[in-house]
Amino acid sequence: MHREYVSWHSPTLNREMEMLVFGHGGARMLAFPTSKGRFYELEDFGMVGALRDHLENGWLQMFCVEAIDWETWYCWWAHPGGRAYRYAQYDAYLYNEVLPFTRYKNPNPFMITFGMSFGAYHAMNFGLKHPDSVGRIIGLSGLYDIRSMTGGYTDENVYYNNPPQFIPNEHDPNRLEQLRRLDIIMATGREDKLIGSARAMSGILWSKGIGNALREWDGWSHDWPYWFKMVRMYVGGHD
């Protein structure tokens, strides 16, 4: 399996940003770690291995990015407005730096955003903000309303990086058409404390005519062995 370490100084974030790339072709997957996880987490915990056949056969190429949670939503010492501003910069880094890099490496037009737990927030937010560039969103055991991390505080940067806020007010016909073309899959255990977040997100999307699949698994289902099964079921392709 092709494995490549990539690093560059991000002008958007003014810091070095690292990434691991797995696979050589197929659909591009922008893959986020769990809360405060690093870019190598998905390899270390076995997610890359769980998708080995997809990667080796050229069905999927994973771009495992850094999430800088400790500089954004998990930077508890900072005012939530400052954390939100930094996250807006992070979103710009993904859109203006990472996406062009993925296209340079792989011209396949289909992009999947993928994450588990807090990574599902990143995947959902990026996909819904940029439906022009994304084809499928896979969120496993996810948190989707970022106001739970701000103590209810909101401002422009919180709003535009919080799907439960910006989706209900989306009225642009072109964006709605793009959003309605997305494949959106959420999977969460019925006993997971985050099941309410997934149900609410699903309902908000349906209220705007944005189809999505909410899959409720038995029990808690909030751990790597469950996520391995989930991703193989929902990534699509050749299982």
Number of domains in the chain: 1
The CATH code of the domain that includes 82 is 3.40.50.1820
- Alpha carbon of 21 to those of 30, 103, 121, 155: distances in Å? 10, 13, 21, 35
Q: Is residue 58 part of a domain?
A: yes
SS3 of residue 22 by DSSP = strand
pLDDT of residue 229: 97
Tokens 């495992």 belong to 64
pLDDT of residue 239: 35
Range of the domain at 89: 3-234
Contact 166, 159 (CB under 8 A): yes
Q: Is residue 14 part of a domain?
A: yes
Residue type, 195: I
- The residues that bridge with 138 in the sheet, in sequence order, are 114, 185
User: Is the pTM above the cut of 0.85?
Assistant: yes
Q: Is residue 158 part of a domain?
A: yes
- Cα-Cα-Cα-Cα dihedral sign, residues 46, 50, 56, 60: negative
Q: Is residue 239 part of a domain?
A: no
How many other CB atoms are there within 10 angstroms of residue 99's CB atom?
19
Digit-by-digit pLDDT tens for the chain (239 residues) are 999 999 999 999 999 999 999 999 999 999 999 999 999 999 999 999 999 999 999 999 999 999 999 999 999 999 999 999 999 999 999 999 999 999 999 999 999 999 999 999 999 999 999 999 999 999 999 999 999 999 999 999 999 999 999 999 999 999 999 999 999 999 999 999 999 999 999 999 999 999 999 999 999 999 999 999 999 999 975 43
